[in-house]
Amino acid sequence: MSAKVMDKSPAGINKIIKPMLNNKKIPLGDLQETLKRVTTEVKDMTGFNARWKREEDSFYNGEITLRVKNNDVCTYCIKYNDEQNLFIATEVL
């Protein structure tokens, strides 16, 4: 990691995640690995464990939320596209 201080706030962590996920097209068999790669990257950059969570109401909307240190950092809607045979991740604002 560089000598500069890493911004470990939810907004700073979201800056790590956004280029990895927002509006990304994820092949059908790569979704789990992609989500795991995001949590690993957060841990490597910040030292904090991260995990994805789904709540019952968000499950039906295809939404998944990243939690770091008991804080919701960001939420993504992950929808399957039949025509392209892949998932598309979009940040929920």
Q: Is residue 51 part of a domain?
A: yes
**pLDDT for 6:** 58
pLDDT (tens digit, 9 = 90+) per residue, 5-25?
457 788 888 888 999 999 999
Q: Is residue 36 part of a domain?
A: yes
Q: Is residue 31 part of a domain?
A: yes
In the sheet that 86-92 helps form, which strands lie side by side, from edge to edge? Answer: 24-27, 86-92, 71-81, 63-68, 50-53
Q: Is residue 5 part of a domain?
A: no
Segments forming the whole domain that contains residue 30: 10-92
Of the candidates 70, 68, 60, 81, the residue with the CA atom closest to the CA atom of residue 16: 68
Q: Is residue 1 part of a domain?
A: no
0.85 exceeded by pTM = no
Contact present, 45 and 16 (Cβ < 8 Å)? yes
Q: Is residue 87 part of a domain?
A: yes
Q: Is residue 35 part of a domain?
A: yes
pLDDT (tens digit, 9 = 90+) per residue, 26-58?
998 899 999 999 999 999 988 999 999 988 777
What's the structural domain count of the chain? 1
